[in-house]
Amino acid sequence: MRVIDGDTLDVGTTRVRLHGIDAPERDQPCTTLNGQNWGCGDWVTQQVRDLYQGAQARCEPVDRDRYGRVVARCYVGREDIGQRLVSDGLAFAYRKYSYDYDLEEKSAVVADRGIHGFTIQSPARYRLTRIRGRDAPDASCRIKGNISAKGARIYHMPGQKFYERTGIRPEHGERWFCSEAQARASGWRPAKR
């Protein structure tokens, strides 16, 4: 199995969206109690990779989503991956589609486990605000993460030479950052000018 993000896996040649959970998007920020933004979506993806990358998974299809992915409950051994991720505070119970992990989320919230120890917008709400426009989804997150024609991941700060003419295309993996530390931690380098 290969982990794509907090709720999406490649099992063999099949792209699988885990049923009943919604994890932060890879580019989604959280805010600490001190008001510091950080890349919790990247952090969640890495946590899920640490848990499951390369493991043998068994999946039970439930549906297909609008992107053509198989929506499934997946297991490693007897462990329900979705249940574990919600229990560990790495994903939300996706109540729009299922109440399977409702109690696990409530327990994680009470214990401030994982993402519940921070201020975070629901992934569904975050996706909606990201789709609405090409402007920064958060006025404090104005650093542009651009992918060059050669595939280099470069971030541009406001005021730099190419900042204004640099567009962000999330569908191509480009994104907004809230701090230089977040951009660097996500594997992006600063623009030279």
Q: Are 149 and 115 in contact (CB under 8 A)?
A: no
Helix segments in 29-80, DSSP class H:
40-52
pLDDT tens per residue, range 4-43: 999 999 999 999 999 999 999 988 888 877 777 788 999 9
Query: Which pLDDT does position 96 carry in this prediction?
Result: 92
Q: How far is CA 118 from the centre of its chain?
A: 15
Phi, psi of 89, rounded to the nearest 5 degrees: 75, 30
∠ CA 133-39-176 to the nearest 5 degrees?
Answer: 25
Structure tokens at 104: 């696990």
Stretch (H or E) spanning 84:
helix 81-87
Q: Are 27 and 77 in contact (CB under 8 A)?
A: no
Closest CA to 156 of 171, 166, 170: 166
Q: Walk along the chain (193 residues) and give the pLDDT tens digit of each residue.
A: 999 999 999 999 999 999 999 999 988 888 877 777 788 999 999 999 999 999 999 999 999 988 889 999 999 999 999 999 999 999 999 999 999 999 999 999 999 999 999 888 889 877 766 544 356 666 778 898 888 878 889 999 888 888 877 878 777 788 888 888 888 888 889 998 8
pTM, full prediction: 0.69
What's the CA gap between 116 and 124, in Å, rounded?
Answer: 16
Which domains, and CATH codes, for the chain?
Answer: 2-117 (2.40.50.90), 133-190 (no CATH)
* AA letter at 106: K
